[in-house]
């Protein structure tokens, strides 16, 4: 019986979500989405061209996103971590496809972007339901 209690306690500790991971998620998501949205709006306003938007995605958005994605991939499995992994993978693939689109007319990249962007939006909504309330 004593071993069962120890095992149950150990499992409950590993299944809990890491508060630092959650805080860093918010910071990285905010940073990356702000950089992306700012550049996207500047491009839409004619302040930068499509290649400059692609450069922002490649140099300012994807590197911190990919670094955190790698961290999440190595975090212990929980429902929240699984949702984060899905969201980060789909958003990353959407942005990568968008970069290809911005460099030229690519039907496959357009299709991938459309699908993965929609998937990432759905992932974000599902993830929001799992995040602890402040």
- On whether the CB atoms of residues 26 and 68 are closer than 8 A, the answer is no
Rounded average pLDDT over 110-122: 98
Q: Is residue 15 part of a domain?
A: no
Cβ pair 97, 74 in contact under 8 A: no
Residue 61 in any domain: the answer is: yes
Domain boundaries, position 40: 20-130
Give the pLDDT mean for 108-124.
98
In a domain, 46, yes or no: yes
Let me know if 60 is exposed, middle or buried by CB neighbors in 10 A (0-12, 13-18, 19+). middle
83: confidence class by pLDDT, cuts 50, 70, 90: very high
Report which secondary-structure segment, H or E, holds 55: helix 50-56
109 occurs within a structural domain: yes
The whole-angstrom distance between residue 31's C-alpha and the CA centroid of its chain comes to 11
For 54-67, the pLDDT digits (tens) are 999 999 999 999 99
Digit-coded pLDDT (tens) for 2-35: 443 333 434 434 458 999 999 999 999 999 999 9
The total number of residues shown for the chain amounts to 134
Residue whose pair of structure tokens reads 């339901």 in the numeric block? 129
pLDDT band at 134 (very low <50, low <70, confident <90, very high): confident
Classify residue 5: in a domain, yes or no. Answer: no
Mean pLDDT across 43-48: 98
Question: Has residue 72 got a pLDDT over 90?
Answer: yes
DSSP string, 81-123: HHHHHHHHHHHHHHHHHHHHHHHS--HHHHHHHHHHHHHHHHH
Q: What is the mean pLDDT of the chain?
A: 91
Domains held by the chain: number: 1
First and final C-alpha spacing in the chain: 37
Quick check: is 4 in a domain?
Answer: no
Give domain status of residue 1, yes or no.
no
């Amino acid at each position: 019986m004593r071993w069962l209690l120890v095992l149950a306690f150990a499992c409950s500790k590993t299944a809990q979500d890491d508060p630092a991971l959650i805080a860093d998620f918010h910071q990285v998501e905010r940073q990356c989405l702000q950089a992306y949205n700012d550049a996207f709006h500047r491009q839409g306003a004619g302040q930068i061209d499509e290649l400059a938007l692609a450069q922002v995605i490649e140099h300012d958005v994807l590197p911190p996103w990919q670094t955190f994605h790698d961290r999440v991939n190595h975090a212990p499995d929980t429902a929240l971590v699984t949702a984060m992994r899905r969201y980060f993978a789909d958003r990353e693939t959407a942005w990568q496809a968008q970069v290809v689109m911005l460099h030229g007319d690519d039907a496959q990249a357009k299709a991938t972007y459309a699908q993965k962007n929609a998937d990432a939006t759905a992932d974000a909504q599902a993830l929001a339901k799992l995040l602890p309330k402040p």
